[in-house]
Amino acid sequence: QTKALGSCSGTTAASPQSRMAEEFAVLESSLSDAAKNGNIDHVVALLRDVGRLHHLWQPNASQATAIDKAADACLRKAGDQGGDKGTNEAAATTSDQNTGEETLLKGYMVSSVNEWGADQTRILLITDLCIHRVKFNFSKEEVVSWHTTSLKDILRIEYGNFKAAGSSLTTFFWRRDIEDQQGFRIYTASRDGKKSINDVVSEEVVPALQGEEKEVTPAASAPEEFFREYRALLAEDEPWKEEVFMLEVIAALQAAKQLKGYPFEVRLTKMVKNIPGGIFTMMHNANRRRQHGF
């Protein structure tokens, strides 16, 4: 099941957020109709918003060039799991089964949150078959690496506000900053990225301390699931735009889901957020915002 998009902020006044949310409701309906009818060209036209009818996110010149180069690299090598490998190494492991079959719906600049809770500048390419997360070197104007998630492997997508976890001093002191943020998470059955320190403790240290007699039987263990978290790039500069950016990306993901009839759920919820890297992660994120040059 897929819930209709809506404002997460709960505001009742005629604010820019609420007006944008209303426009996105119209956009979502148009996208849904086009996707259910298999009209992928119309889905692409709506998301690209060339006529600026819906005031959707548009890349600047530098970002547009980066997105085009990322699409050229990833879509020609669909199905690759490049991860942190360089493009040459990634290409060597590529399957050609989807070559020429993928259609790019839209590319976005996002903050991808890694295992330490640190923001990383990435390109997110949403196609009718996959989601490609691309690391791009803007100085050299070249793709560094990418990771591909097939839409058929997605368990669910959650979006909305964050709730600071009550398990650390970092989330206590930065609670307001965390809970002002909005984003989305893509859940899969395999880990997307490296283990965080919290993962290492829960998956390796604790079981080792408990000993073999504390092992959980396979019947009692729940299926593992992992998520990758995304937010609008540099959303702190204009916080009110973060919600409408998130809603747009969710609308694009819903359209991708409906085009091929993928079964994953898309739902609005409040997501509990940890910062495994603690104060060092918060300092990294603040410094990253100061150094961005595009």
pLDDT tens-digit map of 30-53: 999 999 999 999 999 999 987 887
**Cα 269 from Cα 157, distance rounded (Å):** 10
The predicted structure's pLDDT at residue 17: 59
pLDDT by residue, tens only, the chain of 294 residues: 544 555 555 545 556 656 766 777 888 899 999 999 999 999 999 999 878 877 889 999 999 999 999 999 999 554 444 444 444 444 333 333 444 479 999 999 999 998 878 889 999 999 999 999 999 999 999 999 999 999 999 999 999 998 888 767 666 666 777 778 899 999 999 988 665 555 444 444 445 555 654 454 444 456 789 999 999 997 766 666 788 899 999 999 999 999 999 999 999 999 998 876 666 666 666 666 555 555
The predicted structure's pLDDT at residue 97: 42
The predicted structure's pLDDT at residue 52: 81
pLDDT tens-digit map of 98-114: 444 799 999 999 999 98
The predicted structure's pLDDT at residue 274: 82
The predicted structure's pLDDT at residue 25: 81
The predicted structure's pLDDT at residue 76: 58
User: Which pair of tokens denotes residue 12?
Assistant: 């009742």
| Residue entry with tokens 């019947």 | 219
Distances 288 to 62, 118, 240, 292 between C-alpha atoms, Å: 18, 10, 20, 6
Buried b (16+ CB within 10 A) or exposed e, 61-84: eebeebbebbbebbbebbbbbbbe
* DSSP-assigned states of every residue in the chain: -BPPP--SS---S--HHHHHHHHHHHHHHHHHHHHHTT-HHHHHHHHHTTT-SS------HHHHHHHHHHHHHHHTTTT---TTS-HHHHHHT---TTTTT--EEEEEEEEEE-TTS-EEEEEEEEESSEEEEEEEETTTTEEEEEEEEEGGGEEEEEEEEEEE-TTSHHHHHTHHHHHT-EEEEEEESS-SSPPPHHHHIIIIIHHHHH-GGGPPPTTTSPPP-EEEEEEETTGGGSTHHHHHHHHHHHHHHHHHHHHHT---EEEE-PEEE--TTHHHHHHHHHHHHHH---
The predicted structure's pLDDT at residue 191: 86
Do 156 and 265 form a contact (C-beta atoms < 8 A)? yes
